[in-house]
Structure 1
């Protein structure tokens, strides 16, 4: 399964982006607050298997292990995410 990994979805612009992308792609919403993510999920297109992941993207060393754990490490799961500007790289990984 291919997911769009979306951080910042609980912000106003993030919610708009999530709503738009949810019509075409399954989203993996990332955030530190489960309550905020739970507010967004009902607004997304129900035809896609959207997921949420509690994750602090400021803790760069924990991102890959938590994604591997979340996705189960098997199959053809692909993640594309732009990380915060301070890291200046993209993570594209098959798990």
Structure 2
């Protein structure tokens, strides 16, 4: 099953170093990292350390989800969003 690292140091007190992230990114099942902070500089550092194939998400979940829903507020767009979600999940769960 694919795994996304959730980096939330303000709650856990743990800082994920760039060196550890680069080692974890070599694992086949690690597909990304979710960063809870707002630093675009750190996000770029994590993307570089994780390599081209690592997905990097940033920011709180609620605004992202709300933005996706708002931008897909008509029926056809909602159908397309559902299709994108299903295809993305199928892709990563097939690895």
* TM-score with structure 1 setting the length: 0.47
Structure with greater proportional strand content: 1
Structure with greater proportional helix content: 2
* TM-score with structure 2 setting the length: 0.47
